[in-house]
Amino acid sequence: MALPKIEHPVFTLKVPSTQKNVKFRPFLVKEEKLLLMAKASEQEADLLQAIKQVVNNCAIDKIDIDKFSLFDIEYLFLRIRAQSVNNIVSVSYKDFEDNNIYDFDIDLNEVEVQFPETVDKTIQITDKVGIVMKYPDASLYNDKEFLQSGDEAFYQLILRCIEKFYDADGVYSAKNVPMKEIEDFVENLDVKTFDKVRDFMTSQPKLHYEIKYKNTLGNERKIELSTLTDFFTLR
């Protein structure tokens, strides 16, 4: 006798970077096992890979997960978690003015992605030469060289976030250029241009949620949450 098939609810989420709607299901025991195993390994790379896998598994519509920006993955994971377990999570923070610990309930459905007010992905180097940047995407979760780059992680991230090069003769995709050539190109940038690249990288869209409260000293306080670990320990 065949066991009965379990039907799961389907819900639609909007991908922040593209504003396209994608259908998802809640995560199941098999996805929770992925998260628990990754958490037990205490390796950040394993945890990131598990989060990516959960989002990919739960997608009903066909998606190319590696093209999603990292903030897309984080946002979608939070929303899927809200549908799968509970949209309310409890967090505690210590106020360093009065040294008291305060407890808060967060509605994950109210978490948004905050985009910078102005961002220019095109960075001009000379009158004819420039680069086009992109936001970090989920393919980084599979990039062992990047994940093991340690103190050079930010610099290595910059190299991987160059999407295109252009000059008077045309436009060239960075994915067709060896990493060593990209690194040599970046190392020969003038400092002012590199500062523009760095500004782009430090002005990434990010998760956003604000907690406002008054401490025992009567002072208005605000906590800004912007990463997955700000919200919970991933179950």
Categorize the per-residue pLDDT at 232 as very low, low, confident or very high, splitting at 50, 70 and 90.
low
38 and 154 both lie in a single domain: no
| Residue 216 confidence (pLDDT) above 80 | yes
160: in domain: yes
User: How many structural domains comprise the chain?
Assistant: 3
189 and 170 both lie in a single domain: yes
Structure tokens at 143: 């990039």
146: in domain: yes
In the prediction, which pLDDT does 129 show?
95
C-alpha 45/C-alpha 51 separation (Å) is 10
Q: How many residues does this entry show for the chain?
A: 235
| Residue 235 confidence (pLDDT) above 70 | no
- Please name the residue that has the structure tokens 């459905």: 109
234: in domain: no
Q: Which domain holds residue 220?
A: 91-112+205-225
Spell out the residues 6+ positions from residue 167 whose beta carbon is closer than 8 angstroms to its own: 128, 129
152 and 209 both lie in a single domain: no
Q: How many CA atoms lie within 13 A of 233 on its CB side?
A: 7
196: in domain: yes
In the prediction, which pLDDT does 43 show?
76
Spell out the residues 6+ positions from residue 160 whose beta carbon is closer than 8 angstroms to its own: 136, 140, 143, 146
Q: How many CA atoms lie within 13 A of 36 on its CB side?
A: 7
- Buried/exposed code over 60-90 (b: 16+ C-beta within 10 A; e: otherwise): eeebebeebbbbbbbbbbbbbbbbbeebebe
Categorize the per-residue pLDDT at 234 as very low, low, confident or very high, splitting at 50, 70 and 90.
very low
C-alpha 109/C-alpha 88 separation (Å) is 8
26 and 40 both lie in a single domain: yes
24: in domain: yes
191 and 211 both lie in a single domain: no
19 and 75 both lie in a single domain: yes
Distance of CA 83 to the CA centre of its chain: 19
40 and 145 both lie in a single domain: no
103 and 211 both lie in a single domain: yes
C-alpha 228/C-alpha 13 separation (Å) is 18
159: in domain: yes
pLDDT tens digits for 114-126? 998 877 899 999 9
129 and 197 both lie in a single domain: yes
Distance of CA 103 to the CA centre of its chain: 26
Helices (H), the chain: 29-41, 44-58, 70-84, 144-147, 153-160, 179-187, 191-201, 228-231
106 and 134 both lie in a single domain: no
> What is the average pLDDT score of the chain?
91
Measure the CA angle with vertex 221, ends 90 and 216; round to 5°. Answer: 85
1: in domain: no
54: in domain: yes
18 and 66 both lie in a single domain: yes
Q: Which residue has the higher pLDDT, 178 or 232?
A: 178
pLDDT tens digits for 75-114? 999 999 999 999 999 999 999 999 999 999 999 999 999 9
pLDDT tens digits for 8-36? 899 999 999 999 999 999 999 999 999 88
Three-state DSSP at 180 gives: helix
C-alpha 42/C-alpha 31 separation (Å) is 17
107 and 154 both lie in a single domain: no
In the prediction, which pLDDT does 88 show?
93
